[in-house]
Amino acid sequence: MKKFLRSLIKIVFVVLQPILATVTLAAIVFNDGFISTPLVWTGLVLSYFTVMILAVVVYYYLPKVHMLPKFHIEFLPLFGIGIGFDYGYQKTDISVIIFIPFMSLEIKQHV
């Protein structure tokens, strides 16, 4: 659960907040008349850059947090259908292997 929360925090601060800040700032800039004073513009620009700096800081302070699983595809001389489940060495990662004719797909999530 702890790794899930770290991954969720990284997704929110590195992906969602910068996208929402960019969309919000673009919507405000393209709708003139909404903001009239330079102080409000300064506040908007400073908050935008604060969100971007926070995204960079969180990205660099959480380098070992993996947000998405890793995919590995191999083409094999195999004819059959199957699904395999494997705990890695010392239970550090979980793998699901899916076999379809002439191909194997491995989905690996670091735990």
Q: Structural domain boundaries of the chain? A: 2-61, 70-110
Sequence-distant (≥ 6) Cβ neighbours of residue 70 within 8 angstroms? 107, 108, 109, 110
Nearest to 73 by CA among 51, 110, 102, 50: 102
Please tell me the predicted confidence (pLDDT) of residue 5.
81
Please tell me the predicted confidence (pLDDT) of residue 35.
66
- 0.75 surpassed by pTM: no
- CB-CB neighbours of 51 under 10 Å: 18
Low-confidence ranges of the chain (pLDDT < 50): none
Please tell me the predicted confidence (pLDDT) of residue 102.
86
